[in-house]
Amino acid sequence: MGGGSISLPYLEHEAFGQVDPRMQIYGFMNDSEFAAECSRRGIKLFGIVFEVQGWEYPAVFDDQGHLVRMNERAEADSRCEWYGLREFSADLHRNAFPTQLHDFYPDGIRDEDGKEVKDLWEYCCSRDRFGAPIHARWVEVKGRKEQCYQMCRNNSVWRGYLKKIMEIQIDAGVPGIQLDECELPMTSINSGGCFCDSCMKQFTAWLKERRNAGLLGPEWDAIDLDTFHYGEYLKANGSDYPQGAPLFRDYWEFQVWQVRKYFRELADYAREYARTKHGRELLVSGNFYNMQPAYYPIEDKVDLVITEMEHTLFRQPYYYRYCEL
Ligand SMILES: [Zn+2]
């Protein structure tokens, strides 16, 4: 059930969609049926929320607007268009799946000020200091048109979307949820992010709190926080980023606090939703990747710590598989 990073109708289809009878002959089933079969056998299946990924795929539609082809084979078709978060939020291709935007957002997607968000992909992505979106290069296939942006959890609209992903997964019967890339948006820092509007506003607000509490170092003394924008500051000072960037230590600490705050918000939301809607307890885990210190403040919010190899060079998959209850 990872399709929420393409659209909610795509995920709904993974969870509850009709499986072609020809495929059922070979044992295929939808993911809610698969979750039930696993539970019956005592296997605790987790829904994975790929928090950082926001996808756009080449897609071909028939005359009625049904989605008939995606990805590589769509690329080769002269009728090729796009399908993903952008089209979902713009309420395009309404016949692509049985559900559509207004089944999940009756009033359309709204930001904190009530303004309509027509392009979820661009609105919620992580950006570098020049404003360009950050790509999730490790999941994109080189030489193909598909595109995956890294998304920013500090954006409340993206958190709202992630909550809807979890609702579908819980409705589909998963005993647990794993929040993948749970250090979001620190994931994007080594690629030059995150200077999205949400991060910049929240960083400045955090700095003001620190200044009022007397916790900022002397390097901040000459900086006017009413006009401060970290991305603009780095550009004006001609600095590289993140290695050697001025004021980076405070920026990093700010993000550690945001990880703590928003991971908790999502974990609490998922548990509460399972309790109130389905009367059951939900397990929650996060991908703690290489166990860097940024994960420590969220350890008490998970039932399982799950790690991941930083790279596959040494081919030691036993570390990847290790989980601690
Ligand atoms: Zn951000």
- Of 151, 159, 186, give the one whose Cα is nearest residue 262: 159
**For the ranges 8-17, 47-56, 76-85, 311-320, which has the lowest average pLDDT?**
311-320
Range of the domain at 130: 3-324
According to the model, what pLDDT value does residue 321 have?
Answer: 63
Cα–Cα distance between 173 and 56 in angstroms, integer?
27
pLDDT of residue 319: 60
Q: Please give the distance, rounded to the nearest whole angstrom, from the Cα atom of residue 255 to the centre of ligand 1.
A: 9
Q: Which pLDDT belongs to residue 281? A: 98
pLDDT in tens, 302-317: 999 888 877 777 776 6
Question: How far apart are the CA of 130 and the centre of ligand 1, in A?
Answer: 13
Residue 75 CA to ligand 1 centre (angstroms): 31
Neighbours of ion ligand 1 (CB under 5 A): 152, 154, 185, 194, 196, 199
Counted domains in the chain: 1
With CA atoms as reference, report the closest residue to 305 among 323, 289, 291: 323
Ligand 1 center from residue 242 Cα (angstroms): 15
The tens digit of pLDDT for each residue in 90-124 reads: 999 999 999 999 999 999 999 999 999 999 999 99
The Cα 285–Cα 49 span in angstroms is 10
Average pLDDT over residues 148-166: 98
Digit-coded pLDDT (tens) for 173-216: 999 999 999 999 999 999 999 999 999 999 999 999 999 999 99
Q: Is 307 helix (H, G, I), strand (E, B) or coil?
A: coil
pLDDT at 307 (0 to 100): 83
- Taking the C-alpha atoms of residue 187 and residue 191, their distance in angstroms, rounded to an integer, is 8
